[in-house]
Amino acid sequence: MRYRVFFCVGSVALAFEVTAQSAVDVVRPEEQQRERRAVVKEQEKRAKHASIIEFRGQQAFDDKQLRSALKEEITTVEDFGLTPARADDLAFFLAVFYRKHGYAKVSVRYVIESGNRLRLDIIEGPRFMLNKVVFDGNTREPADKLFEYLVGPTRERYSRLEKTLPFVAADMDEGAKLVQRFYVAEGFLDVVVDPPRSKFEGQSPEVDVVVPIREGRQYFFGHIAFTGQTVYGAEALRGQIVDLLQRPYTDVRVEDIPRRLQAYYKARGYYDVKVEAAGAPEEAVNGRVPVQIVVSPGPVYHFDGVTVNGLQRLHPSFVRKRFTRLSGKTYSPDVLDERFRTLMKTGLFNLLQIKPVPIDGNLLRLDISAEEAKSKEFGFWVGFDTYEGALAGVQAGDRDLFGTGRAGSATIEVSQRSYRGELLYQDPFFLDTDFVFTARAFAFTFDYDGYTKFELGGKLELSRKISKYDEATLNFSARHVKITDSEIRPSFLLGPKEYQVDTIGLTNTLDLRESPYVNPRGFLIGNTLDVASSALGSDIEYIRGTMRVGYYLPFGPKPLTPGVVVDEATGTLFQRWFRQSSIAFGARVGVIHSLTTSGPGEATAIPIDERFFNGGATTVRSFGERDLGPHDNHGHPVGGEFFTVFNVEYTFPIFGELQGAIFTDAGNLLPTSEDVGLNNMRYAIGAGLRYKLPVGPIRLDYGVNPDPRAGEDFGAFHFSFGFAF
């Protein structure tokens, strides 16, 4: 795992264009002199005006803080000169700044001492802090919840750890409006929240606030009447909105009913469905509001032709063929969304719009407008990895080879341990099917602890989505491996030093996570099975299988889906902190079994480079990379034929995108597949930091080994990129 800095250039043609432009725009010496004089004049102007504003009387804030708070107004004076109106603005906004920090009785006056000099005299007065808050009249909602809404505008400017907050009258007024909105969201349609009353007690710097509330009745949904052509019956439609009906009545939830029901009908081909919902609070009986829902489904539509426009380089048939098989099928927005997402994943488009257009005979023509992304790219990256050390790489590629929509790239990467080169070709719609074909050829050397290898080979993959969440891949791999240097002793632990290994395998991944890269939630199950056989031309024969299971549970609210309205209470400080936390569970297991046997004193049948290794940033983090498990006489890891890894990690917010984590890991690595199980388990207890990026976190972890054995370290540091498991 590593962190990369990546830059791209859109195309070679763009580079030539920039070069040509710079060659034409030659600046003459006299023009350069005029530009320099203009810059100097502007600098002299600003230097002249920089000291025209003087603050007097301030104690709570220094000069730099005040100038920063008035940056926009000061810039206006520097650019356009000092006038009484601009001086008055400075005094006004300076007073606002003080009041936002609790100086409710601040006084700011301005004096224009000359045409270009302004003095701002400040009488700060005491800083008032919010003391006791009383909600007068709340009987149905708890005061601690209302308090969080009331102080919400002030809390935004201060740390969540602040126990006391400054009194800001404007914030109290805004917070009272938030309290009223909360009541309405809870069904109190007649609620009245009066402006807060502030109580200043003598010379005390503490302010008590009273918020008068008249809650009124709480309303709920009453009788739901369906009229029109419902098609599926009232009970089926009620089932689509039952969660809304179980919550308090609000206008927002009534407005959500048509969106829910229209989505239900459209998923069944009713493209032109119309649904209207109207509540009648004035007719409520015992707080139960009747709602009238009128349904006009219209006819069932079917897909027809496809038009494509906006493409410059990509052949229109590439897009058209993705939809022609829909012709004659019942309209479904989910099907269109799936095709849209599949096309966008190719990286060929900046913009893709699919507009169904009704035509004669209850048919829908799909008018597709596209804006192509730059297909050619050149990039490089630099980074650091705990095991590989410093690394750098370069890549050149084209996502649209010859306008066919197929991708190709070439990559070179160098680290302190390795040299890598790879050529890749990908067809996202192999033979105009939904299969993705990938071919890659590679060569690399790697200096592991104890041995160095050179590998040359290639891999073919054919993958397909079985469902929205399930993907299967069939692959064939051919590799030639040579151990070029070894310090493994005794040497039979190394296994074959040069061999050809050809495998055929199957991978299946069921990914139910909602956001794999940012805030994953849900299950992930992955399985691999591959076989190396002499029938494929392999020098060695084995069968290998792995399984991975993960469960990720953020404690925050689920992301909103279209047509769903969620009312979130702000809650206490602990509740907010808890809702931004998450816990993850992971388990992995793998076994490789030789299909041939080695005699007494002969080398092991499984080469060292085909075995499993354990320990590191993504496994048991109390060990260095590959350092858990069997070792040779010199302490070099030699791998094993069976492994397990179990992880539990709890993450919590610290500040902004910075997160903390505590974790525990367990796992083992056994030398032979003849004796598998959970014996010889090793453990890790540790903590770390995470910095969230759009494509995953940067991680720094330290794992402690609770039971170190002879020659083992107390723990290990790991710096890496991405999720641990």
Domain assignment present for residue 8? The answer is no
The domain boundary, picked from 81, 104, 123, lies at 123
Q: What is the CATH number of the domain that holds 66?
A: 3.10.20.310
What is the Cα–Cα distance from 40 to 456, expressed in whole angstroms? 62
One domain for residues 84 and 133 = no
CB 603 within 8 A of CB 540: no
Report pLDDT for 36. 66
Distance CA 389, CA 447 (A): 12
Please tell me the predicted confidence (pLDDT) of residue 719. 93
- Domain membership of residue 379 (yes or no) is no
Mark whether 610 and 680 lie in a shared domain: yes
d(CA 72, CA 99): 18
Asked if residue 502 is part of any domain, the answer here is no
Among 476, 408, 410, which residue's Cα sits nearest to residue 443?
410
Q: Find all residues with CB under 8 Å of 84, minimum gap 6, and list them.
A: 112
Is there a single domain that holds both residue 306 and residue 175? Answer: no
State the CB neighbour count (10 A cutoff) for residue 184. 18
Check whether residue 105 and residue 187 sit in a common domain. no
Instruction: State which residues form the domain around 578.
Output: 516-721
Long-range pairs for 708-717 at CB < 8 Å and ≥24 separation? Answer: 711/635, 712/623, 713/623, 713/624, 715/622, 715/684, 715/686, 716/615, 716/621, 716/622, 716/623, 716/624, 716/627, 717/386
Does a structural domain hold residue 32? no
Quick one: pLDDT at residue 34?
Answer: 67
Q: Is residue 253 part of a domain?
A: yes
Q: Are residues 73 and 188 in the same domain?
A: no
Residue 99 lies in a domain: yes
User: What is the pLDDT, as a whole number, of residue 513?
Assistant: 87
Looking at residue 722, the DSSP 8-state letter turns out to be S
Of 165, 193, 214, the last residue of a domain is 214
Pick from 244, 263, 296: which residue ends a domain?
A: 296
Considering the domain architecture, whether residues 62 and 199 belong to the same structural domain is answered as: no
Helix (H) or strand (E) holding 98: helix 84-99
Distance separating alpha carbons of residues 295 and 287, to the nearest angstrom: 26
Q: Indicate whether 206 and 319 sit together in one domain.
A: no
The secondary structure of residue 707, as a DSSP letter, is S
Per-residue pLDDT, 565 = 36
Tell me if residue 102 falls in helix, strand or coil: coil
- Name the stretches of the chain with pLDDT < 70: 1-51, 160-161, 516-519, 556-579, 598-604
Q: How far apart are CA 524 and CA 522, in angstroms?
A: 7
Q: What is the pLDDT of residue 44?
A: 55
- Please count the structural domains in the chain: 5
Query: What confidence score (pLDDT) does residue 578 get?
Result: 53
Give the pLDDT score at 581.
87
Q: Which of 509, 525, 507, 676 is nearest to 590 (CA)?
A: 676
pLDDT of residue 45: 55
Is omega for the bond preceding 258 within 30 degrees of 0, making it cis?
no
Tell whether 702 and 672 lie within a shared domain.
yes
Assigned domain for 81 exists: yes
The DSSP string of 260-284 is HHHHHHHTTT-TT-EEEEEE-GGG-
- Same-domain pairing of 329 and 281: no
Q: Tell me what pLDDT residue 24 has.
A: 33
> Sign (positive/negative) of CA torsion 16, 392, 4, 424?
positive
What are the φ and ψ backbone dihedral angles of 69, each rounded to 5 degrees?
A: -65, -30
* Residue 496: cis peptide before it, omega within 30 degrees of 0: no
pLDDT at 711: 87
DSSP secondary structure of 287-328:
TEEEEEEEEE--PPPEEEEEEEE--SSS-HHHHHTTTGGGTT
**φ and ψ at 266, to 5 degrees?**
-65, -35
Q: What is the spatial distance between Cα 669 and Cα 680, in angstroms, rounded to a whole number?
A: 8
| Contact status, residue 98 vs residue 175, Cβ threshold 8 Å | no
Neighbours of 518 (CB within 10 A): 12
Together in a domain, 288 and 264 = yes
pLDDT value of residue 4? 41
For residue 487, count other CB atoms closer than 10 A to its CB: 14
d(CA 357, CA 271): 10
Please check whether residues 156 and 249 belong to one and the same domain: no
Q: Is residue 197 part of a domain?
A: yes
Does residue 324 share a domain with residue 175?
no
